[in-house]
Amino acid sequence: MPILTNSMLTKCMSCAPAVDAPRPPLSLLGSEPWRAAAEFLANQVMPAPAAAGDGHPVTFLPGLASDGNVVAPLRSHCQRLGCAATDWGRGWNTGPRGDVDRWLHALADAVQALLADSAHAPTLIGWSLGGIDARELAKLGRLQVRQVITIGAPFNGTPEQTHVGWVYRLLSGEKAQLSPALRRPLATAPPVPTTSIYSRTDGVVAWQACRHGAPGRQVQDVEVQGSHLGMGWNPRVLRVVADRLAQRPGHWRRCAVTAA
């Protein structure tokens, strides 16, 4: 989980109340690999139907301790939709290092360089920690962002509501922490259409932390059934992403894909 700076705090348009929830039970965490494998097989047997996109660029931000290979199935799905899909080009996501403000600006520069040949605003898709990064990039204002889609991203909680705090500390050398004063701006939606995909059977992060605390005209939380690790190829996640990418700019509508 990133630690927001005071400069990030001032960039928030409004502050929604953060939620409190326990970590997912260990039974869900322990079954994550098996459920993710089952979701992968389900996608191979019955690929998700897709609504064609319009060819605009899509940039993926991977989760903690993962890289572009982890989101490759989802990236390939977006490419089949006709979108120019790429990952963030920065290798493994080990979380912010040093000054977070400076790290975020460097990330914005890197994404902007990836999009140098495109005349269209990108959709940012972030999985888990990458979803939090995508939201903060859209708030930063350095990039003209079309929309943000997060997948299993606990933007409305604390590190204590996940099972990945020890991974963050191992990779970054710092304890994952977030003060109560800075939880609220992190939970605030970006000023662009934003969709959060979450699962009540997520075994890694509390599903309550993946939902917005207050409704918004361009904000929607979409529930799917599945694991955290398998969200990159979960057929319902792919359907939601396809639905979002098929929307025209300026004509945002709520997604009709359901968890059932």
Cβ 100 vs Cβ 6: under 8 Å:
no
Report the pLDDT value the prediction gives residue 59, as an integer from 0 to 100: 95
Residues 6+ apart with CB under 8 A from 151: 74, 125, 126, 127, 128, 131, 197, 231, 232, 237
Question: Is pLDDT of 47 > 70?
Answer: no
Handedness of CA 186, 188, 191, 195 (dihedral sign): positive
Higher pLDDT: 19 or 203? It is 203
Report the pLDDT value the prediction gives residue 167, as an integer from 0 to 100: 46
Report the pLDDT value the prediction gives residue 182, as an integer from 0 to 100: 56
Cβ neighbours around 177 below 10 Å, total: 14
- Whole-number percent of the chain with pLDDT over 90: 47
Report the pLDDT value the prediction gives residue 224, as an integer from 0 to 100: 95
Report the pLDDT value the prediction gives residue 152, as an integer from 0 to 100: 95
Question: Is pLDDT of 55 > 90?
Answer: no
Report the pLDDT value the prediction gives residue 202, as an integer from 0 to 100: 94
Report the Cα 2 to chain-centroid distance in Å.
13
Residues 6+ apart with CB under 8 A from 78: 53, 58, 85, 125, 241, 245
Which H or E element spans position 29? helix 26-30
Report the pLDDT value the prediction gives residue 127, as an integer from 0 to 100: 94
Question: Is pLDDT of 146 > 60?
Answer: yes
Cβ 198 vs Cβ 156: under 8 Å:
no
Left (φ > 0), alpha (ψ -120 to 50) or beta: where does 13 sit?
A: alpha
Cβ 50 vs Cβ 243: under 8 Å:
no
Total number of residues shown for the chain? 260
Higher pLDDT: 14 or 99? It is 99
Q: What is the mean pLDDT of residues 86-100?
A: 82
Angle between helices 129-140 and 100-114 (to 10 degrees): 80
Binned at pLDDT 50, 70 and 90, residue 46 comes out as low
Question: Residue 234 and residue 172: Cα distance in Å, rounded?
Answer: 29
